[in-house]
Structure 1
Amino acid sequence: MSGRYYEAEHFEAYARLRREGLNQWSDLHPCDRTGGYDDIQSRPFLDRVLPTGGEVQGRRVLEYGCGTGGAACYLAQRGFRVDAVDLVPDAIELARRRAAERGLEILFAVQDVCHWTDVGDRFDYVIDIFCLQSIVTDDDRARLLSAVRTRLKPDGRYLISTAMFEPERVYDDNDHYDQSTGIVWTRVPKEVADAVRLGDSWFVPNRRHLAAAALRRELERHQFTVLEQSGRFGGELVCTPN
């Protein structure tokens, strides 16, 4: 394992998606497999909070952590002007291919959102569909949230669907859940970048599963107002920059 804690898993996952001809990240786990490329996670949430019909005209959306582009394609089909980024070149290549197959114009780019430097345009919506839980450390989350805020129009909306702390969730023997931070630490065979020693083993930060109130407080600390928090365990949020 090399690079930052979030890199190896994602590079390996999208390489496997290409090899096996799978549609999206959830297809890597048989129990989570969807009905195909156009079966978008969080579609009911997006359908409920996004405008429709003539209100879509000219609205710009930025999706980060777009993966193979299913949500980006869905939004473009609804009439939004869509930019979408992901850390992994394989993911972006697959996303561009699927968009081209559908005759959609989407601006895809490879980008590490934990180190997002160019500001560029501002957007009506910035969308996160199950990416935030993979941005784990305080520093990385602070950089990401700052980048989101600077890319939103003053009246823009930040839409989040994320995995949350679940009281009944069971972590396996290779994971250590820190209740004080919400960080899931995953065992690795040796010391690597970002690893810490817990007992006799090395662990890297793998996920961040926050309780609803903790996630709301984090967003508020980073100058967002949470307009709505709903969904399973509070993992669907509509925010606006302060």
Structure 2
Amino acid sequence: MNKELEKFDLACTYLRNDQNIAAHNLFMSLAQKEMKNYNFKAGLYLILASACKVKQGKDPKKELLEAADFYVKLAKKDPQTANYAYRCAAKCHLKVGQYEEAMKMFEQAKKYILKPAEEKRTIVAVDDSPAILMRVTSFLQYLGYDNIKTASDGKGALDIITELIKSGQNPIVLLDMDLPDITGDVVATKLLESKPSLSIILITADEKTAPRVRKTIGIGSAAFVQKPFTINELKNALDTAKLSEIR
């Protein structure tokens, strides 16, 4: 497990155990590092730090406004993600009751029209966490995909994807490695046996799954992303999956 993920997991553990000051300090440390790299993760860490303040009964305004300012910087730096960044900034302003500022951010977001995805492919996202599925769906919609199906376990994923293949579709599959009923590598193996050209992107949580990820990529999976991933990391994985189809 890399150091950033170790710190993130530790901060989340502190937060769950109501060790809110320790959690806040760790999230802020992670945010400061990622802000230097202009990484979207920094905004998420600042929002999590604000949640620590709320649990302490303190005002989270400072962290939320810092997140809003950071999202605006990202929007100005990269027009490709400006729509998403301005909308994130708007939500931060809404959380602190700055409605006029929030409206300004939404108006700025409207100036950046999203480009539709080149291919209107069906995407099947598989994860047992509703929060992850919501986040992935939001990212995919931003990237221009509007035909998105979700499943929370391996059996549901196999049923959905098998039906899509039978109907002649060629979906891209985002597949969590640790599902409650059937592990992701087993699901991927079954799918690739029936359709070797299927594009599968594995979602991993830590390096414990690394041997299974390598094995699954070896039999045909196209790419992988590690939680917590950003919209750019997901886009890169999708691009890699599409490139792997060109033979």
Task: Establish whether TM, by shorter chain, passes 0.5.
Answer: no
Which structure has the highest helix share of the two?
2
Highest relative contact order (Cα 8 Å, sep 6+), 1 or 2? Answer: 1
Larger radius of gyration: 2
Q: TM-score, normalised by structure 2?
A: 0.31
Which structure has the highest strand share of the two?
1
